[in-house]
């Protein structure tokens, strides 16, 4: 077996691979064409964030079996293309949580005491003691946006500094957050009450520019803002306006919407009350050794033993099980993703019912796939087929499985009900032929839809002209409909329309759709890509 390490990796990673008996080449900073030329030689590829494993690279990788990312983020890997070619993609989601949390605390303290500004002043030969009056954090309120793995560590450290912690996280159960000694609040209340605000949420379509003009306008004038999570969660122009106009005391960013960034790309860099670092959240020797060790062991175990750990696109099952239930694993992940995107409130219970011949199979991998799909819209690359059940347990979510040999309308049926603190939704799906997943129930609506890729979900009154107006509006705005399914609810004379689109419908177009006559509501969905 032969592995290429194409990004800078802590030496322990290379050592582990070599000691396992694997031939290793370290060749970093390769231009895409050079990587494409040599990738056919390798069984494994170990990367960090610099290497872009795009479709053309994957297509050229004739021997490649596994891509290992030393860290969490996988936006530099074309996962659908890798899946289509049978390449396992795995990451190391737990290696840098503490490091990222500590960086956020460091940024908060640097802001509070003007450390970067005072350092720059002294290095310029000045002694401006009165210009850099700071503030204590003891007794102050820290607002955390997203209190998952990293956010909870930040909470713990802040409490050690005698701070009061409040948090906004619509997906975390109230009792779990209360065990951390944290008050769960709405986003506008967090903005209003917090003296310091720290962001710890992944970038998704739901969190893109989550923190913008209205949010910063709601903050205290002397409050300070920190983001060491993901660029794009905040609107940088809105933050610039708040800081430059004196409506916010200070801000610190480790991440930016476009990286690397410059003064021309980010005017924030020209402000005196703004401090920053070049995406250093995971940059400690301990974190880099942790992720290097983890990914090297995972890649070696897969290449030499076939063991799968922390894979984001392949469940840990035998070939025999995969042959029998593989399409239902894909279906489960799709239904999980759909459930989370239509749900309101935090998930409390998941009920999975397996009917027909499916009840005689090993259903464990299907349940795991559903949980992975459920958490992916909110946790992104931090969730995989291995840790999804643990995440459910950590969040206090009850998972119930049941089987029945009888399937009323289909030979096999997967029916899943998700209960939240604000209601519940039921989805049911099956597989047509040998591998085509289908959504056949959405609550009380019966339909037949492919739950994959970018979609638009529309609720409308059952009157003539709605479908025509909808198609025209999408077409005029450059969105093509590849599939459309209509389900009707007799009692309410309401329809549900599910459309597979060639691209994700943007916010402006969604507003236009919602304004069409006889449309009650519409939402954009982004489900796992169906590779056939």
In a structure prediction context, what are the per-residue pLDDT tens digits for the chain, which is 532 residues long?
999 999 999 999 999 999 999 999 999 999 999 999 999 999 999 999 899 999 999 999 999 999 999 998 888 999 989 987 879 999 998 888 999 999 999 999 999 999 999 999 999 999 999 999 999 999 999 999 999 989 999 999 999 999 999 999 999 988 889 999 999 999 999 999 999 999 999 988 889 999 999 999 999 999 999 999 999 999 999 999 999 999 999 999 999 999 889 888 899 999 999 999 999 998 999 999 999 999 999 999 999 988 888 898 877 666 677 778 889 999 999 999 999 999 999 999 999 999 998 998 889 999 999 999 999 999 988 888 878 898 999 899 999 999 988 766 788 999 999 999 999 999 999 998 778 899 999 999 999 999 999 999 999 998 999 999 999 999 999 999 999 999 987 677 889 999 999 999 999 999 999 999 999 999 999 998 887 6
CA distances from 264 to 119, 258, 267, 270, 397 (A): 24, 12, 6, 10, 46
User: Hey, CA dihedral for 30, 32, 35, 37, is it positive or negative?
Assistant: negative
DSSP β-bridge partners for residue 274: 251
* Residues 57/39, Cβ–Cβ less than 8 Å: yes
- Dig out the tokens for 339 from the structure: 């459930």
CA–CA distance, 272 with 114 (Å, rounded to integer): 10
- Dig out the tokens for 222 from the structure: 């002397």
The pLDDT assigned to 445 comes to 93
* Residues 479/509, Cβ–Cβ less than 8 Å: yes
Q: What is the strand order of the sheet 183-184 is part of?
A: 183-184, 164-168, 141-145, 196-199, 224-227, 250-253, 274-276
Classified as helix, coil or strand, 202 is coil
The DSSP secondary-structure symbol of 247 reads S
**Alpha helices by DSSP H, 25-96:** 32-38, 55-60, 79-84
Domains with residue ranges and CATH for the chain: 1-95+285-311 (3.40.50.720), 97-276 (3.40.50.720), 315-443 (3.30.1330.90), 453-527 (3.30.70.260)
CA distances from 426 to 243, 396, 418, 439, 500 (A): 45, 20, 7, 11, 20
User: Hey, CA dihedral for 288, 290, 295, 296, is it positive or negative?
Assistant: positive
352 contacts: CB under 8 Å, gap ≥ 6: 363, 366, 367, 370, 399, 400, 401, 402, 414, 415, 416
The pLDDT assigned to 316 comes to 67
Q: How many CA atoms lie within 13 A of 159 on its CB side?
A: 14
CA–CA distance, 358 with 113 (Å, rounded to integer): 61
279 contacts: CB under 8 Å, gap ≥ 6: 254, 255, 256, 259
The pLDDT assigned to 308 comes to 84
CA–CA distance, 238 with 140 (Å, rounded to integer): 25
* 433-442, long-range: CB < 8 A, 24+ apart: 434/327, 435/326, 435/327, 435/330, 435/532, 436/327, 437/327, 437/328, 437/330, 437/331, 437/334, 437/530, 438/331, 439/334, 439/335, 439/338, 439/498, 440/409, 440/410, 440/413, 441/415, 442/487, 442/496, 442/498
Q: Is 453 left (phi over 0), alpha (psi -120 to 50) or beta?
A: left
- Dig out the tokens for 119 from the structure: 């350092």
- Least Cα distance to 60 among 32, 87, 40, 31 occurs for 40
Separation of first and last alpha carbons in the chain:
29
The pLDDT assigned to 435 comes to 82
41 contacts: CB under 8 Å, gap ≥ 6: 2, 4, 63
The pLDDT assigned to 319 comes to 66
237 contacts: CB under 8 Å, gap ≥ 6: none
The pLDDT assigned to 331 comes to 95
Phi first, then psi, for residue 346 (nearest 5°) are -90, 140
- Dig out the tokens for 86 from the structure: 């049978």
CB atoms within 10 A of CB 186: 10
- Least Cα distance to 183 among 155, 162, 206 occurs for 155
- Dig out the tokens for 10 from the structure: 């802590």
- Dig out the tokens for 465 from the structure: 């002209």
- Least Cα distance to 145 among 180, 189, 98, 109 occurs for 189
Q: Please, is 318 exposed, middle or buried when counting C-beta atoms within 10 Å of its C-beta (0-12, 13-18, 19+)?
A: exposed
- Least Cα distance to 161 among 114, 103, 224, 108 occurs for 108
Active site residues: 230, 259, 279
CA–CA distance, 347 with 80 (Å, rounded to integer): 27
The pLDDT assigned to 318 comes to 66
Classified as helix, coil or strand, 498 is strand
């Amino acid at each position: 077996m032969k592995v290429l390490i194409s990004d800078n990796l802590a030496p322990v990673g290379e050592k582990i691979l070599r000691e396992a008996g694997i031939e290793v080449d370290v060749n970093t900073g390769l231009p895409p064409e050079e990587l494409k030329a040599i990738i056919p030689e390798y069984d494994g590829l170990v990367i960090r964030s610099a290497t872009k494993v795009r479709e053309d690279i994957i297509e050229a990788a004739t021997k490649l079996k596994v891509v290992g990312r030393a860290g969490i983020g996988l936006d530099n890997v074309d996962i659908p293309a890798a899946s289509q070619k049978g390449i396992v993609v795995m990451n190391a989601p737990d290696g840098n949580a503490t490091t990222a949390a500590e960086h956020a605390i460091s940024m908060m303290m640097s802001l509070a005491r003007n450390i970067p500004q005072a350092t720059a002043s002294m290095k310029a030969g000045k002694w401006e003691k009165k210009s850099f009056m700071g503030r204590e954090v003891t007794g102050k309120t820290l607002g955390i946006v997203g209190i998952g793995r990293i956010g909870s560590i930040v909470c713990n450290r802040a409490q050690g500094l005698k701070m009061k912690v409040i948090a906004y996280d619509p997906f975390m159960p109230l009792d779990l957050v209360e065990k951390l000694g944290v008050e769960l609040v709405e986003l506008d209340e967090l903005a209003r009450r917090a003296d310091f605000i720290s962001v710890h949420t992944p970038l998704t379509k739901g969190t893109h520019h989550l923190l913008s003009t209205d949010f910063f306008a709601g903050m205290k004038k002397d409050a300070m803002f920190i983001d060491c999570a993901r660029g794009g969660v905040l609107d940088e122009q809105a933050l610039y306006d708040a800081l430059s106009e004196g409506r916010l005391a200070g801000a610190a960013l480790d991440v930016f919407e476009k990286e690397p960034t410059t003064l021309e790309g980010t005017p924030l860099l020209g402000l005196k009350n703004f401090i920053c670092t070049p995406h250093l959240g995971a940059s400690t020797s301990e974190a880099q050794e942790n992720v290097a060790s983890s990914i090297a062991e995972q890649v070696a175990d897969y290449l030499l033993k076939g063991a799968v750990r922390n894979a984001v696109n392949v469940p840990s099952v035998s070939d025999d099980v995969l042959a029998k239930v593989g399409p239902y694993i894909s279906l489960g992940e799709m239904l999980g993703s759909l459930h989370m995107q239509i749900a309101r409130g935090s998930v409390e219970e998941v009920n999975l019912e397996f009917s027909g011949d499916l009840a005689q199979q090993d259903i464990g991998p299907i349940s795991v796939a559903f949980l992975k799909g459920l958490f992916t819209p909110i946790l992104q690359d931090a969730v995989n087929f291995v840790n999804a059940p643990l995440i459910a347990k950590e969040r206090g979510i009850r998972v119930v499985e049941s089987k029945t040999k009888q399937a009323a309308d289909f030979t096999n049926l997967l029916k899943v009900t998700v209960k939240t603190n604000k209601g519940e939704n039921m989805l049911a799906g099956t597989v047509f032929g040998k591998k085509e997943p289908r959504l056949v129930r959405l609550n009380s609506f019966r339909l037949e839809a492919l739950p994959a890729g970018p979609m638009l979900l529309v609720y409308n009154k059952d009157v003539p002209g709605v479908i025509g107006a909808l198609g025209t509006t999408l077409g005029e705005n450059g969105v093509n409909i590849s599939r459309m399914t209509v389900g009707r609810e007799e009692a309410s004379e309401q329809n549900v329309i599910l459309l597979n689109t060639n691209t994700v419908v943007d916010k402006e177009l969604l507003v236009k759709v919602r304004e069409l006559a006889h449309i009650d509501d519409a939402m954009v969905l982004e489900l796992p890509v169906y590779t056939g």
